Structure 1
Amino acid sequence: MKRSLMAAGAILLGAALLQAPARAVPDTAAAPTATIWEDNFDGPAGQAPDPNKWKYDIGGSGWGNNERQYYTNSTRNSALDGNGNLVITARRESGGFQCHYGTCEYTSARLLTAQTFTQTYGRFEARIKIPRTQGIWPAFWMLGGGNWPNDGEIDIMENIGREPSTVHGTIHGPGYSGGAGIGAAYTLSGGQQFADAFHTFTVDWAPDSITWYVDGIQYQRRTPADLGGNTWVFNHPFFMIMNVAVGGNWPGYPDGTTVMPQTMTVDYVRVSTLGSSSGGTAITGLAGKCVDVAAANTADGTQVQLYDCNGTNAQQWTRPGDGTIRALGKCLDVNAGSVADGAKVQLWTCNGTPAQQWVYTSGRDLVNPQANKCLDVTGNNSANATPLQTWTCTGAANQKWTV
């Protein structure tokens, strides 16, 4: 996914906005639970990163920020080091790569999961040793699609080389993109520099909040109330990106002090579900039992069923206000958007379709408006693991829910 006009987009951040000193923030985010995706970068030195997990953006378009590097898929620019790390290397070249302004003087790499992994909500974390030098711009971030800024952007960690002790976390969306992005900075104490050691960069993303951490220290939390009336667009799947840019409108350009090559070393990238303290509650129905995701499985198509209430994350549901009902980072979904009686109800990646819209009525029905049918316990059977379905609304006990 190319950022081109994400430009000013992806990360041209106003200095005044981002220079606030790090401060203690009450930790209101949930603890992570199950790991649902990770890469520990195990493999022999010189091997390319796992192609089943990472793809590449390639080219020297300037990426909407007047950057100077050409991104490649060469192992000269991204490869395992044989010690359980991925190394992204920015290099000065003698030419040969065509850029928007002529011949690129630098190469680097930009890896992303747009074609391999997307996720709505959870803990997104990486342990990284970043580079430092004038004009260098390492980042670990996420995009919600190609329609920037309407699809949203979450910057988990960005650094510009002239600020070796400071990283930035920011969100971008419609009305708060580019220099109007909403974020804060975290600065190491005592003159420490991020390039001297590995540090862990984390966001906890819930339906109504995004919380940033460095080395487990929370330094920022944003909610819809921070947007000044603009739209909160962080309620659909995002993918991850790691890159090292050279030059650009925000970091400035290499000069006589710049040292090349520069490397960003990544120990791991991990995505986990969040615990119920992110705002989930149980939905109870027939015989006092709960709406449950079978085996707490986050795979698309997992059965949603009735089960004894047990307080697990498989029974913690949120209603973020967009008509969806969510658990484990995914949505309550009518299989294939069916409007027929007996349609399977399942867990599925949130996609904004009518199959994932629900209305809770004063009569305690959960209705899918597209089908005009109710969430229903199959066969009025209160046994554990009875699947849920949609059915013509009858007013019966097996269609009554407490949300």
Structure 2
Amino acid sequence: MIIDVARRTGVAAATLIAVVSLSPGPAAAVEPGNPTGATTQWTQTWSDEFRDPAGSGPSPAKWGHDVGEIGWPDGEQEFYTDAVANAYQDGENLTIDAHTGDVPAGTKCRTAGEQPRTVDCTHTSARLVTHSTFRQKYGRFEARIKVPAADGYFPAFWAQGRETSSWPANGEIDWMEVMAPGQRDVHFSPIGKALPGCTLHQNKGAWGLMPEASTFTPSAEPLSTGYHVYSGDWFADHISFAVDGHTYATVYRQDVLAAGCQWPFDQEFFLLLNLAVGGASGTPAVDRATMSVDYVRVFTPAVAAGTITDRVFGLGATGGNCLAAASTPANGVAVKTNLCAPGALNQVTVTGGLLMIGGRCLDVQSSGLVPGTPVQMYNCNGTGAQQWRIESNSSLVNPQSGLCLSAQNKNKLVVDHCTNDKHTYEAWSPPAPRQVSATWPVDEKAGTALRDTTGAHTLTCTGGTSWAVDGAHLNGQYQACSAADPIITTTSAYTVAAWVRPNTAPGSVDWAVAGVDGTNVSAFYLEYNHLSGTWAMNLPGTDATTAVFRSTTGGPAPKAGDWTLLTGRVEPATGAVTLFVDGLPKTSMTVPTSSFWKAEGKLSLGRGRWARADATFFPGRIGAARTWNHAAEDADILAFYNATKSRYETA
């Protein structure tokens, strides 16, 4: 049996997670110009992979049960139990099972509002909690869940503050609620107490997002058609929400406080998983429904290990510029942004929470704690004024002040409140440690959303792509697989590899194997190039269909039915571009260093981008794929080939 590695492999102790930050509200995709590319390093602190034997209940070492008619005043019809019939494992997943037929005699539920419990409960279900086993303040919280298809059931993955005060003062974070599982919308929201004068949306004494701003539609298909990864990143200054690796909303502490509302998210929270019945979700359409949970994982932010020197790219309104010292670094020299040309003033060393240029550290002047305090270069002393945290919404935060590095004045950077409207000036893409940035075992049967082996990125296939143990089958017309973010930075060194098998002999059109979307074209095409009649690595010099395209030549020609590992390695600092075939270098070229531009769209397999549209679809199968956020060594590329080739020798 082939195990779904994305679902069954635990996350490594330190994981890099790249996400993007958008304002609250529906968004179908990452819009051009939105911040993307920052990395946060995480350490896993808690998880449940639900691998206990079939018929087992949830692990009592990790989960407790809320039992009874819990009393949420919205007319729900379930009675929660601790019975295995309502929450059980099958060796790979947890199932929460809501059904009729075994409600304890005499149990009563509310009809609506604050009315007494006067009607018979219709279903039993389960609500699992960790308030006695696990709590955490800040971090990344995620679960891979398949919701039921029937309407009238209300699955949720959420968190509440410690029970030192009552709801809503104790706080609530809804990572995922699906009030109509047969539909396509996921609901999310942080919730706190509505103080006098609070101007945010209010209900039952609590504030939350407006209903239209707390709903996200991740795909055209109902959420119940497969598993989705629902997650959120919770920092002191903001909370972000994501589906399948795509961050679609961020709520900032400062914005909530400015609205006169309470922010209760500075304490430990515990987790909840439950399947409610009726109430806000409507009358149950069937007598039974199940919610399947593949895993729940929690991480905490970690200081990045090691030291790396590279440019720190500005994003959003600062796009195209880099963090720099205003002049030769000396005590008191201002920090600014300028064009991302090579040069010592743009080279930033990231080490142990410090950001260094020319041997001096970025320093909040006089250890200032107020917005508008300048940031300067100063002798490195490791004080709180020189500590910076790279957050997953692309912010660089000084924890001592709780303020973000801002480039609203590009000639004199300051720290400022971290808010939604200011974030476009507070988004950065710092250098990341040299490592494998993603690996997808695409030949493992996993549905249409595949988490990579680090748990950091999700590859989603569309257009009715079929899956089997011999890879993702693509028809060459409209089917492809994409991540929600670029994964790699196309202005820095990177390497991309994928196993491919064409169904037909090549002809007079290009076939894209991998690329990162720009606005008009892909930043690169690992592809079959019909002009040369060979596999190739093709790079446009700008984000335009009129750009000068440079392509490696001399690689072998594709053969229908043959598996090949294609690898492209790009080094913008020297302009070197190398194509590897089956683990060995086959052809190379040198590109002017000015030709590399930053693409902020999706990393895609099986297609490219042309004239603002998906194009050059690959006709065949795609197997295991990997990206590196640096120029991988020849030996590492060959090792990936040797480690995976046995899957395809007889396929």
1:66 Cα offset (Å): 1.9
TM-superposed CA distance for 1:229, in Å, is 2.5
Name which of 58, 66, 69 aligns with 1:60.
69
Instruction: Tell me whether 1:41 sits opposite 2:50 in the alignment.
Output: yes
Letter in 1 for 2:203: G
Change (3 A) 1:128 1:223: same
- 1:13 aligns with none
Aligned to 1:157: 176
Please report how far the alpha carbon of residue 21 of structure 1 lies from its aligned counterpart in structure 2 after TM superposition.
Answer: 4.9
1:95–1:125 Cα change, 3 Å:
closer
| Percent of aligned pairs sharing the same letter | 37
Structure 2 residue identity aligned to 1:86: L
Say if 2:187 is the partner of 1:187: no
Shift of 1:102: 3.5
Within 2, Cα distance between the matches of 1:51 and 1:67? 26
Counterpart Cα distance in 2 of 1:130 and 1:167: 11
1:37-57: per-residue Cα shift (whole Å, max 9, x none)?
A: 011011111101110110010
CA contact (8 A) 1:145 1:151 kept: yes
Rounded to whole Å, the distance in 2 between the matches of 1:173 and 1:28 is 30
Shift of 1:159: 0.2
CA contact (8 A) 1:22 1:185 kept: no
Among 95, 100, 123, which residue is 1:92 paired with? 100
> Is the 8 Å Cα contact of residues 184 and 218 (structure 2) preserved in structure 1?
yes
C-alpha contact (below 8 Å) 2:185/2:215 kept by paired residues: yes
Q: Which protein has greater RCO, CA pairs closer than 8 Å, 6+ apart?
A: 1
The structural deviation recorded for 1:20 is: 4.1
* 1:222 to 1:43, Cα distance in 2 relative to 1, 3 A: same
In the alignment, what sits opposite 2:121? Answer: 104
Question: Distance in 1 between the 2:38 and 2:161 partners?
Answer: 21
Shift of 1:252: 2.0
> Letter of the aligned partner of 1:91 in structure 2?
H
Q: Is the 8 A contact 1:209 1:223 kept in 2?
A: yes
Q: Counterpart of 2:183 in 1: which secondary structure?
A: coil
Change (3 A) 1:86 1:205: same
1:273 aligns with 2:319: no
**Kindly tell me: are residues 310 and 185 of structure 1, through their superposed partners in 2, closer, same or farther at Cα, counting changes over 3 Å?**
closer
Asked if structure 1 preserves the Cα contact closer than 8 Å seen for 2:388 and 2:398, the reply is no
The question of 1:253 aligning with 2:283 is answered yes
1:126 is aligned to 2:143: yes
Q: So what's the TM-score if we normalise by structure 1?
A: 0.62
SS of aligned partner of 1:222? strand
Matched, 1:229 2:260: yes
Larger Rg: 2
In 1, are the aligned partners of 2:162 and 2:267 still within 8 Å (CA)? no
Q: Secondary structure at the match of 2:255?
A: helix
What do the CA deviations read for 1:77-99 (whole angstroms, capped 9, x no partner)?
Answer: 001012x2110011012643412
Provide the C-alpha distance between the structure 2 equivalents of 1:110 and 1:246, rounded to a whole number of angstroms: 12
Residue 189 of structure 1: CA displacement? Answer: 2.7
Contact 1:30 1:204 (C-alpha < 8 Å) held by counterparts: no
Deviation for aligned residue 1:22: 4.3
1:171 aligns with 2:201: no
Aligned positions, number:
278
Q: Measure how far apart 1:62 and its partner are.
A: 3.5
Given the alignment of the two structures, is residue 77 of structure 1 paired with residue 102 of structure 2, yes or no?
no
Partner secondary structure for residue 31 of structure 1: strand
Displacement of 1:233 in angstroms is 1.5
> What's 2:399 paired with?
318
Root mean square deviation, CA, Å: 3.3
Q: What code does the residue aligned with 1:46 have?
A: G
What does 1:219-368 align with in structure 2 at a 5 Å threshold?
219-227=248-256, 228-248=259-279, 250-254=280-284, 258-275=285-302, 290=382, 318-319=399-400
User: Take 2:190 and 2:38, find their aligned partners in 1: how far apart are those partners?
Assistant: 17
Any gaps of 5 or more consecutive residues in structure 1? 1-17, 293-308, 322-403
Deviation track 1:28-74 (CA, whole Å, cap 9, x = no partner) reads 87534110101101111110111011001000243232210000000
SS at match of 1:263: strand
User: 1:310, 1:137 → 2: CA distance?
Assistant: 40
Residue identity matched to 2:215 = A
CA distance in 2, matches of 1:28, 1:150: 35
Q: Is the 8 A contact 1:27 1:218 kept in 2?
A: no
The residue that corresponds to 1:342 in the other structure is none
Instruction: Indicate the residue corresponding to 2:160 in structure 1.
Output: 143
More deviation, 93-102/263-272: 93-102
In 1, the alpha carbon distance for the partners of 2:47 and 2:203 equals: 30
Whole-Å separation in 2 of the counterparts to 1:312 and 1:171: 22
Distance 1:122 1:32 in 2: 11
